[in-house]
Structure 1
């Protein structure tokens, strides 16, 4: 159970989006102590591949899953910029735990953007009660969104979901699973099904060398029921969902750059020997080694600045949606697409550089499995491989020079997809 008061009624006649009311200080006071507890066991969980069920539970109890819900409905009233800043701080503590929250926070955002209804009121109450949503969009066996094999079919007064998914991030920690599938004809639907239904099979078979405890493996569905109010047309998902999914990933990368700065600084202070070519026999007094750590701090700063700037554009999109300003919405979605792509390139470059060059300040002792500093590069490299960074600079250049629309045409699954 969360510490949030769930007795607040959600008005059925008004939109759910509201201007943010939370202060940075309030959010830090509430969540940073939890992040600090999570950080304590990060290395051991990474080394022994211990799934962080307990740590996810702490965050549910603290109300992280309802951080974007307006205060008048019982949530924390955070902005998107504040939400992604929190996610980066969580990633500094544990990049795996932070990534687990990506799908849940995105579905909360989707319901905040949805038309008020009894079923959506019910979803907000579930979030306030700490119920958690995992993902299930990417088709298994090299399937694509254009060739969905998963089905969401009507069966009397309910729906049945069948299919196979991969990259089901967060599923082992979830109460609900958000599954994309084909409906009648060309309809593409998302269905929310209960994780503990006997027709759900979750397999912890994620083989990536990073993000090892995110439960990003396989999910199989066999005639899993979904009720009315828990099935939605994918094309009606919130317009900035692709930017949201991408920015959540960038938040984790920004957090990793801060974590490697923290750990690199600590490791240099503890280093006892230096090379004959060094400028000083004491490593922590060697100007060249200090320069390495200084550059890592620049990477961490750049990643944080890019995250803040790009996430602020999403708040502007949400603001336009809340006021119903269609012209502003279209303009701001385009601005968010450009900013998110620019942030992706800036943050990935910063994270990969920082997690590699930090070893130049540490010598052979830096590769000790006791320190496990390689986890930062492995996690950053894994996250950076999710979406096509290689294409982004070309797309940005085509927009700037030729005016070619940079927003991907993924209308078949909702504009923007999951960040692809």
Structure 2
């Protein structure tokens, strides 16, 4: 019997059980893509219902983490596949085309894996990467709802003996509700930023299922309340990735960009299928089917060109990140940041355009509530708000015109 976890306010949402069997360990880029394609075929079925009824994708998420895809960027030296970021972005796009809410849940997990690689000690890497390889999922207790800016952290951490004690409140906490370990971003009195890896069931850690966004409905991106949560000092990692030249920001961004590309691809696929099977030809076209309408044909061609352009920049960004990881300098990191920003601009544009064009090309019957096709637009509009693309244009122009490297942070 399948248990449905509905996304509604619940201050007593119990932690999910940890996996009883170790996850599969992926060994190559090709295997990662093949597994993603296989899973996408399975998660596509039911994605619309999950969105409509706000059913959390617990069963699908378990399959995703047990498949080994949550561990694909664990370095080879620690037992992972260490896939290229071209491959990682492709994996996320494949999943997002099937269910973008589900594809968003690993976003912070994968970015945090790279933070561990950049700033963790060897002991911390063995411990935390080992947990990921066994199938444990990291959540996200990063952003705060009422701080002055998205980077002004009010969650505090202090050390007491062999433990850190953390207090604060978070929101937009994608994946935390369904995680096994919740990395909490907190600052000490000196302003040093830390990632404190708390057990999901730690006393004082409360995950509230109160995400009410009209799009990306089943990401469980609600609240985290942190009251005197104790975390072993061995599981507290200082964050230096944005002080030193690392592509941490670009890595976070390329995953966001891949989600948007997937949303676009899913909307375009839905449009093509609807036009072929359900739409009527317009009376002035003189055609027997909607798929023969010359204006519709041209519009589909335009959408595909824009999607392929966005995907080409997504792949280019992945290559630039791989270069920066192999040789992290101011120049390589700036190049990765710029390439990823260019990708983010185009994936944002095509996601929103494709979701809008779906209704224009499919026709009036496509707005019927039972079809739930508006989920494509809602997901595109919601997810592309993650960081303002208008600032991407500025940083790109400043780089090319004035030689100014973009700032380093998770939104750039």
Which residue is equivalent to 1:4?
24
Which residue is equivalent to 1:32?
37
Tell me how far 1:127 sits from its aligned partner.
0.7
**Would you say the 8 A contact 1:180–1:188 is kept in 2?**
yes
SS in 1 for 2:39: helix
Q: Which is further off, 391-400 or 156-165?
A: 391-400
Query: How many residues get paired?
Result: 390
**Would you say the 8 A contact 1:61–1:130 is kept in 2?**
yes
Tell me how far 1:345 sits from its aligned partner.
1.2
Q: Which is further off, 64-73 or 193-202?
A: 64-73
Which residue is equivalent to 1:372?
372
SS in 2 for 1:277: helix
CA deviation digits over 1:171-198, x for unaligned, max 9? Answer: 1111111111121323222211111113
Which residue is equivalent to 1:22?
28
Which residue is equivalent to 2:229?
224
Query: Out of 164, 171, 181, which is 1:166 matched to?
Result: 171
**Would you say the 8 A contact 2:352–2:381 is kept in 1?**
yes
Tell me how far 1:291 sits from its aligned partner.
1.9
SS in 2 for 1:397: helix
**What does residue range 64-103 of structure 1 map to in structure 2 within 5 Å?**
64-71=69-76, 73-103=78-108
**Would you say the 8 A contact 2:76–2:82 is kept in 1?**
yes
SS in 2 for 1:153: strand
Query: Out of 310, 313, 321, which is 1:314 matched to?
Result: 321
Which residue is equivalent to 1:17?
none
1:49 aligns with 2:54: yes
Tell me how far 1:35 sits from its aligned partner.
1.8
Query: Out of 292, 302, 315, which is 2:309 matched to?
Result: 302
**Would you say the 8 A contact 1:264–1:358 is kept in 2?**
yes
**Would you say the 8 A contact 1:244–1:419 is kept in 2?**
no
Tell me how far 1:85 sits from its aligned partner.
0.6
Cα 1:30–1:67, aligned 2, differ >3 Å: closer, same or farther?
same
Cα 1:265–1:143, aligned 2, differ >3 Å: closer, same or farther?
same
Tell me how far 1:382 sits from its aligned partner.
1.1
Kindly report the root-mean-square deviation, in angstroms, between the aligned alpha carbons of the 2 structures: 2.0
CA distance in structure 2 between the aligned counterparts of 1:104 and 1:215, rounded to whole angstroms? 14
Tell me how far 1:207 sits from its aligned partner.
2.5
Tell me how far 1:90 sits from its aligned partner.
0.5
Which residue is equivalent to 1:419?
411
**What does residue range 331-346 of structure 1 map to in structure 2 within 5 Å?**
331-346=331-346
CA distance in structure 2 between the aligned counterparts of 1:98 and 1:213, rounded to whole angstroms? 10
**What does residue range 374-389 of structure 1 map to in structure 2 within 5 Å?**
374-389=374-389
**What does residue range 132-171 of structure 1 map to in structure 2 within 5 Å?**
132-144=137-149, 147-171=152-176
SS in 1 for 2:272: helix
**Would you say the 8 A contact 2:147–2:154 is kept in 1?**
no
Tell me how far 1:72 sits from its aligned partner.
5.6
Tell me how far 1:299 sits from its aligned partner.
2.5
SS in 2 for 1:181: strand
1:199 aligns with 2:204: yes
Query: Out of 119, 125, 133, which is 1:120 matched to?
Result: 125
**Would you say the 8 A contact 2:23–2:135 is kept in 1?**
no
Cα 1:153–1:378, aligned 2, differ >3 Å: closer, same or farther?
same
